[in-house]
Amino acid sequence: MDRSPSGIVRSIRLAREGRQEALSDLLETHRNYLRLLAASCLRREMQGKADASDVVQKTLLKVHENFRQFRGTTELEWMAWLRRILVRQLADVQKGFQRQRRQVSREQSIESLVDRSSAMLRNMVPASGPSPSQDAQRREAAALVADALAELEPGHRDVVILRNLHELDWNAVGEKTGRSADAARMLWARAMQRVGGLLKEKLS
């Protein structure tokens, strides 16, 4: 699939015309993005009692079933729609653990968390990236970062997620990864250097 902004717009149009392979490509293109958002929210809210991959699979199924309801044409609009469906799936999972909370309140809380995690992914793009005039010619930053993180070794990816998405301090990151705080910080620095290199390739 052509993963350029114009390629994604074309895939959205083809999917709307009934081309199932175009819709499948769109779903696969943003699987990494949804998985990171789901993992971030599940770890914070349900402490690992649910599996992010299962939530993402259910989300993709709902997207496939309800695609005709999508009215956008750009990747930004597509990602916003994906997040709304992900929020509903996360709320359903959380419902089993926090039955005392109202559904509306639960969805609003998760929506804020999902949007915050997406913004934090976006903020990982170096400030020295493309100029505003080039923005329309590149992929949405959060999706690019998610794809870059997916290319890291699991240990490197975990330390970035714990630090940048879960916002844990170095002692907590070290404890969760079986390292000292200093070792966790050094691993994170190497991982972020690798992320920077991958993003540079994707943004060039």
Please give the full DSSP string across 125-158, using - where no structure is assigned.
S-TTS--GGGGGGS--HHHHHHHHHHTS-HHHHH
Q: Are residues 17 and 116 in the same domain?
A: yes
In degrees, to the nearest 5, what angle opens at C-alpha 30 toward C-alphas 98 and 94?
5
Q: Are residues 155 and 110 in the same domain?
A: no
Q: Are residues 12 and 105 in the same domain?
A: yes
Q: For residue 173, what is the domain's CATH number?
A: 1.10.10
pLDDT band at 135 (very low <50, low <70, confident <90, very high): very low
Q: Are residues 125 and 163 in the same domain?
A: no
Packing angle between helix 20-29 and helix 5-16, nearest 10 degrees?
A: 140
pLDDT band at 44 (very low <50, low <70, confident <90, very high): low
Tell whether 142 is covered by a domain: no
pLDDT band at 46 (very low <50, low <70, confident <90, very high): low
Tell me how far apart the alpha carbons of residues 141 and 138 are, in angstroms, rounded to a whole number: 8
In degrees, to the nearest 5, what angle opens at C-alpha 142 toward C-alphas 30 and 96?
65
Q: Are residues 98 and 155 in the same domain?
A: no
Tell whether 173 is covered by a domain: yes
Sign of CA dihedral 135, 138, 144, 148: negative
**Helix, strand, coil percentages for the chain (3-state, nearest 5):** 75, 0, 25
| Average pLDDT score over residue span 94-105 | 59
The reported pLDDT for the residue numbered 157 is 92
Containing structural domain, residue 121 = 5-129
Tell whether 134 is covered by a domain: no
Q: Are residues 52 and 91 in the same domain?
A: yes
Q: What percent of the chain has pLDDT over 90?
A: 57
Q: Are residues 41 and 71 in the same domain?
A: yes
Q: Are residues 104 and 17 in the same domain?
A: yes
CB 121 within 8 A of CB 141: yes
Q: Are residues 32 and 120 in the same domain?
A: yes
Q: Tell me the per-residue pLDDT of 114-130, one tens digit each, with 9 for 90 and over.
A: 888 898 898 888 755 44
Q: What percent of the chain has pLDDT over 70?
A: 83
Lowest-confidence region among 85-89, 92-96, 101-105, 193-197: 101-105
Distance of CA 55 to the CA centre of its chain: 13
Q: Are residues 123 and 182 in the same domain?
A: no
Q: Tell me the per-residue pLDDT of 1-21, one tens digit each, with 9 for 90 and over.
A: 677 888 899 999 999 999 999
| Average pLDDT score over residue span 162-189 | 94
Q: Are residues 35 and 123 in the same domain?
A: yes
pLDDT band at 49 (very low <50, low <70, confident <90, very high): low
The reported pLDDT for the residue numbered 136 is 40
Q: What φ, ψ does residue 140 adopt, rounded to 5°?
A: -65, 135
Tell whether 47 is covered by a domain: yes
**What's the total number of domains in the chain?**
2
Tell whether 146 is covered by a domain: no
Tell whether 138 is covered by a domain: no
Q: Which residue has the tokens 């079986």?
A: 178
